[in-house]
Amino acid sequence: MALLEVEGIDVSYGSVQALRNVSLQVSAGERVALLGANGAGKTTTLRAISGLLAPTKGSIRFADAEIGGLPAHAVVGHGIAHGPEGRALFPTLSVEENLRFGFLPRRKTDPGKFAEQLEEVYEFFPRLFERRKQAAGTMSGGEQQMLVMARALMSAPKLLIMDELSLGLAPKIVSLLFEIIRSVNERGTAVLIVEQFVHMALANTDRAYVLAKGEVVLDGASKRLADSEELLASYLGGEAAPEPDVPKQSRRRPDARKRTATQPDDPSAPRDARQRRNGSTAGRSKKASKR
């Protein structure tokens, strides 16, 4: 039985429907990627799972308990920790004070475990130990992202959710964060991650789902999807964002360094994969001919 089961959820912002019949699963100890272009519904899906948004239809079950519609603090109590896009740290508080907030869901059930959990987190993030008395807002972007992940781990979650892990970070830091996620997963924590670098996400996960315009359009083993033209077509019309260097264990498509496209919004009506690929190629050809 899956640890997390999302079945046919719809989510709306007022009169605007953001998700339509979205279903996904994450098993215990599994690493799963959620991919898609800007505006596809990735962050909305994570927010619905973690209790920041309430689905208007469907079910979200975690460890065989219904959590759909529960407030975020109750979802954390079930064993889900969410590292949000944008970090949302307390910038004037120290690193250790931010980590203490991450332990709050356990303050009643495990009051004597704070020091033990803090030590475990510092094992993953020795840089944070060095910065433990420093105000979070004065650290670099990479150090702040480490703190976001570390704070989430302070609740000892069964499922760690990370939204846009690499956003705005240097390649060396991104590779380090993926190595840390691998180590966390090896200790038994399941991972659900949204990541802009498609091939890096696929190289560091077991399975993946692809969202387009609020719907799941593709899913399967990450290794299979990494070689799927349909995946590339579903993600930015066949063009992925440029990727940083990845850990040695990760796989990279031979032409990944050649891609330089950014992630534009895609407000156009759905088209099939071949049309999107051809349209993207034709657009580049016209620009080249004008030069």
Give domain limits for the chain. Answer: 4-79+157-290
- This prediction has a pTM of 0.77
Contact between 205 and 29 (Cβ < 8 Å): no
The residues near 106 (Cβ < 8 Å, ≥ 6 apart) are 113, 114, 117, 154, 155, 156
Which one is predicted more confidently, 199 or 187?
A: 187
Pairwise CA distance, residues 168 & 174, whole Å: 9
The proportion of the chain whose per-residue pLDDT surpasses 70, expressed as a percent, equals 78
Between 18-22, 44-48, 173-177, 213-217, the lowest mean confidence (pLDDT) is in: 173-177
pLDDT digits (tens, 9 = 90+) for 21-31: 999 999 999 99
Nearest in space to 18 (alpha carbons), one of 43, 41, 42, 49? 41
- What is the mean predicted confidence (pLDDT) over 64-92? 90
pLDDT > 80? residue 267: no
Domain 4-79+157-290, CATH number (from 2.20.25.10, 3.40.50.300, 3.40.109.10, 3.20.20.140): 3.40.50.300
* Bridge partner residues of 9 (DSSP): 22
Residue owning tokens 């051809």: 278
